[in-house]
Structures are given as C-alpha cells and as structure tokens.
Structure 1
Amino acid sequence: MNQIWAKISELAEANNGFFRTAQVEKIGISRPMLRKYTDAGKLEQVRKGLYVITESIPDEFALLQEQCRAAIFSYGTALYLWGLSDRTPHLYDITVPRGQNITILKRDNPNLRSHYLPRDLYEIGITQTHSPQGAEVSLYDRERCICDLIRDKEQMDMQLYTQAIKGYFRTKPNRRKLLKYGKLFGIEDKIRTYMEVL
C-alpha cells in the first residue's frame, strides 16, 4: 500500500502536482485503488479522470490547461507571466476558439475570464513559457498581448494597460512582428502611433 502511494506521489510530483487515470494505469495501479485513496481523502478528483493529491499545491496554471488544452493564457494573465504586469492574477484570462465548449471548465473554475475568437485570430502568437511553479504553459507572445490590449483598450484597466505598454517598449520590442499582428487585427495605424510616441 505504501509503495503504491509512493508511486502515485512520484507521478504527481513529476506532472506539476496532478495526473490522469491513464497515467496511473500505465504504472500498474488500478482504478479501484484510486477510488480507495479518493474515499480516504488522500486524493481529490478535480475532473473526470484528473486527480491531485489533497495536501499538495498543484500548479494552477498547468492544471487549468490540462483541463482544457485549447485554453491559451491571454490579457492580464499572459502579461503577468511575461513580467509586463506586477499583478498576480486573481482571475485567469484565457482565450479559446469560438465554438469551443468550456461550460464544465467554467463551472469548475469560477475564477476564469474567457475570451472567444475565430480560429484564424485565436492561433496568432501562441507560444510557451514557464509558470511561477515551473510548468510549461501556453500563452500569447508579448506582441500579441500588446495587440489585444490596444484592440480592447475600452475594457482594460488603465493602470495595467499603461504599465504593460510602457514595459513592452522599454524592453526590446519586436516592431516588425508587432506591425504584422497589427495588420492582421486591423490596428496597424494605432500601433504606429504608439511606436512614434514611445
């Protein structure tokens, strides 16, 4: 029994604090054994087939994307991960393709703010970085984040907006990529104005 628990703990640790039923079965542990640990309060089923160790602190960023692989961190969350915002997100901003059903994800994660886009625009600028706990997560690159801010300026918190724009132009901005994205989103003129000012 202790050997089985050691295997489960090891698996969770190697997988950002969580694991799927299939991964446990792969190392020779049965579903009834998972149920046993869940009933004993040692494991918590986050979603069908997805578990965390009750006393552990799983990587929230990685866990969210494990629940929905189409969810890309965007807006304030992506800005935080890039160091363009000093605000720890209390709401996770994600963008998904229009038509993607995330009803269960939203039900299980009340601290979620979702944005929907047509697939061609959704796919622009997807890249990877590491969460504060070290997991690899998908998010939009810095240039895409700046475009999203400028496109949705009216809905943005002005302090966050100003900090991110100034922070981006203070570091090494990729002007060519920014203009290319600007053209795709129909905000090229606005971006040129920011470039001149900053």
Structure 2
Amino acid sequence: MNYREMLDSLIAQHEGIILTKDVTEAGIPRTYLSSLVKEDILERVAHGVYLSRDAFDDELYSLQTRSSRLIYSHETALYLHDFTDRDPLQWVGTVPSGYNSTHLKNEGVKVYTVKKVLHKLGATTGQTEFGRKINLYDKERTICDIIRSRNKMDSNLINETIRRYVGRKDKNIPLLLRYAEQFRVQKILRNYLEILL
C-alpha cells in the first residue's frame, strides 16, 4: 500500500476528519495532506485539522483536537447529557487556571477556568452527535458547575436539569454530594434537592 492509499484509508477510518498528528503517527509524510488540499479533496479547517469534502464538520471534535485541555461543561455538557432540549447558543468549556484560552474565545467558545487541582475532577469521555469522542464532565460535576454559575444562568434551566437528574436511573447522589462539598455548593444543592425530592 502506498502513502496515498494509506492516507485515504486513514481518512475513511476517521470519518472524514483527519489530524496532522494522525498522519504523522501513521508514518505518512505531511506533504500528502498538502497534495489533497491542492486537489480540493481535503479542506484545512484549522491548524492541524483537515476535513474531507464529503464529511460533516464536527465542530465539538474539531475544537477538542486543537485544545486538549478543554473539557466541555455547563450548557454544552447539559445538552450532551440530555438534560435539556435547548441547543446551546455557543459551546462552553472549562480549562485549568493559567491556560491561554484566547484561541477558544476567538472561535466563540465561552470559557470557564478552574483551579488545576479541580480541572480533571469528574472528567469523562462522551460523543458528539457524529459519534466522535470528546472530553466532557460527568452529570454530577455538570450539576455542580451550573449551581456554581447560577447567577449567570437561567434558573429554569437549573431546575429542569436537577428534576431530570433526580428522575434518572443512572444518577449517583453520593458522588454528586461529594463534588458539591469540594466545590462548596452543598447547602445550595441540598435546597434544590429538598424541593424536588
């Protein structure tokens, strides 16, 4: 198999989104990416990210590939966990304190920062609507995040989220309470839970 065939196979495996690092790891010279861009087979959508002409631009995945420390949170995580029927007006993510998030803000991402020690707490993997893996916070961490940011959020959204969470079979109340303690929102969370339980 020659390099061109290897690259075509790699593009097919990745459902039309290919990263420069994937090409390098496969031992394919990067010049083949440039050739496919010139032939109008691939489009460079961001630094190190290429999209085939027949593929859907998976914006969440594309942002994630360019910013490995980004963890989707707040409204975006609510949407991905099916806690809301509202499509997010903008993508929302959290990065550790000190991380330069200018490029994310320039792309319209709402960015929260958190202490480095809390950044990975509750981090898990999920899927975009196109089935690609991304990093996001689990359900319990997401609830703590929206309670921490309650003054910047729609109170109906918070109530709807907690109501849906309480009704789910996969809820983990002890974990939720542990997170709430770490983020110092346990009293506020208990108030919401008492009203809804």
TM range (shorter): 0.7 to 0.9
Whole-angstrom CA distance in 2 between matches of 1:27 and 1:127: 27
Distance of aligned partners of 1:193 and 1:25 in 2 relative to their CA distance in 1, 3 Å threshold: closer
Contact preservation (8 Å) 1:37, 1:43: yes
In the other structure, the counterpart of 1:158 is 155
Count of residue correspondences: 194
What is the match of residue 47 of structure 2?
A: 48
CA drift at 1:68: 0.7
Q: Are the aligned partners of 1:84 and 1:167 in contact in 2 as well (CA < 8 Å)?
A: yes
* CA positional deviation for 1:185: 0.9
Q: What code does the residue aligned with 2:128 have? A: S
Question: What is the alpha-carbon distance in structure 2 between the residues aligned to residue 16 and residue 188 of structure 1?
Answer: 43
Q: TM-score, normalised by structure 2?
A: 0.87
CA contact (8 A) 1:16 1:59 kept: no
How many Å separate the matches in 2 of 1:126 and 1:158?
24
Partners of 1:192 and 1:26 in 2: how far apart?
49
User: Which segment is superposed worse, 46-55 or 185-194?
Assistant: 46-55
* Aligned match of 2:73: 74
Q: In structure 2, what is the Cα distance between the partners aligned to 1:68 and 1:149?
A: 22
Distance, in Å, in 2 between the alignment partners of 1:150 and 1:11 is 42
SS at match of 2:10: helix
Q: Which residue identity lines up with residue 191 of structure 1 in the other structure?
A: L
AA aligned opposite 1:159: N
User: What are the ranges of 5 or more consecutive residues in structure 1 without an aligned counterpart?
Assistant: none
After superposition, residues 110-129 of structure 1 pair within 5 angstroms as: 110=108, 112-129=109-126
Q: In structure 2, what residue type is equivalent to 1:101?
A: N
Q: Is the 8 A contact 1:16 1:62 kept in 2?
A: no
Structure-1 separation of matches of 2:125 and 2:28: 32
Letter paired with 2:69 = A
Q: Please, which of 114, 139, 142 is the counterpart of residue 142 of structure 1?
A: 139
- RMSD value, Cα: 2.2
Residue in structure 1 matched with residue 19 of structure 2 by the alignment: 20
TM-score norm. by structure 1 comes to 0.86
Q: 1:96 maps to what in 2? A: 95
Q: Deviations over 1:8-38 (max 9, x none)?
A: 3432232253222243345554333322221
1:48 Cα deviation from its structure 2 partner: 2.8
Asked whether the equivalents of residues 70 and 95 of structure 2 are also in contact (C-alpha less than 8 Å), the reply is yes
Match of 2:193 in 1: 195
Counterpart for residue 175 of structure 2: 177
CA 1:40/1:144 → structure 2, altered by over 3 Å: closer, same or farther? same
* Rounded Cα–Cα distance in structure 2 between residues aligned with 1:195 and 1:22: 45
- What is the SS of the residue equivalent to 1:24? helix
| Larger displacement relative to structure 2 (122-131 or 32-41) | 32-41
